[in-house]
Amino acid sequence: MNNLLDFLINGQSYFINFIRFAIFTVMVWIGGLKAYQYEADGIVPFVANSPFMSFFYKNSNKTAINQEGDTVKEYVLHKNPEGKMVEKNIAWHTLNNTYTFSYGLGSVIVIIGVLTLLGIWFPKIGLWGGVLTFGMSMVTLTFLISTPEVYVPNLGGDMPTPQYGFPYLSGAGRLVLKDIIMMAAGLIIASDCAKKIKTATNHGQR
């Protein structure tokens, strides 16, 4: 047991670097996927309903009537399931600036990932990576408030639907909630970088 405790204590700096690498992997992979149609389409409900990002889309506030006669946001009628290509939907997303915005967002996410990884060698750069990771995660978590799709809908059926709405997270909601881990990780690596910067400054003053 003591050996395990010593290993965990002595390995702390390596574990923090592992956090950096983990954030880098997630950011670069997911950010890179933003260049592809299916991923750009997939983030539309989050962006269109976000008070912080909806202005990037041309049609965020437009509504339409669905097959049931209900008024819904227009993007709902133009969803492309992952792995399916529908030409009229893609044309709508092109006019909506869906893909242009996704390219920009993906680039920002990749940059944050790279800044975070560079913190292993350059604390001042890594500090920004940690702070931006925290900030991005905080914005992402607001989707739990602004995006209806993060909760299980009541689609009816041949018997009552007992679990829908808050707090019953959908697949999208469960994915968003995990960003609270990224938020905590961002603070940890920012704190580690701040400590290294402070230590280097103090040594330089002696």
Is the bond leading into 123 cis (omega within 30 degrees of zero)? Answer: no
pLDDT of residue 206: 63
Cα–Cα distance, 64 to 77 (Å, whole number)? 8
pLDDT of residue 147: 96
Give the model confidence (pLDDT) of 73-86 as tens digits: 999 999 988 888 89
pLDDT of residue 68: 85
Task: Read off the tokens for 27.
Answer: 């950011």
Task: Read off the tokens for 52.
Answer: 């912080």
HEC assignment per residue over 76-129: HHHCCCCCCCCHHHHHHHHHCCHHHHHHHHHHHHHHHHHHHHHCCCCHHHHHHH
Q: What is the mean pLDDT of each run of 10 residues along the chain (206 residues)?
A: 90 96 98 96 96 95 90 93 91 96 98 98 98 97 96 89 93 96 98 95 75
Residues in a beta bridge with 71: 65
Asked whether the beta carbons of 177 and 144 are under 8 A apart, the reply is: yes
Cα–Cα distance, 81 to 120 (Å, whole number)? 39
Asked whether the beta carbons of 3 and 82 are under 8 A apart, the reply is: no
Give the model confidence (pLDDT) of 152-179 as tens digits: 998 888 888 889 999 999 999 999 999 9
Cα–Cα distance, 97 to 162 (Å, whole number)? 38
Asked whether the beta carbons of 102 and 39 are under 8 A apart, the reply is: yes
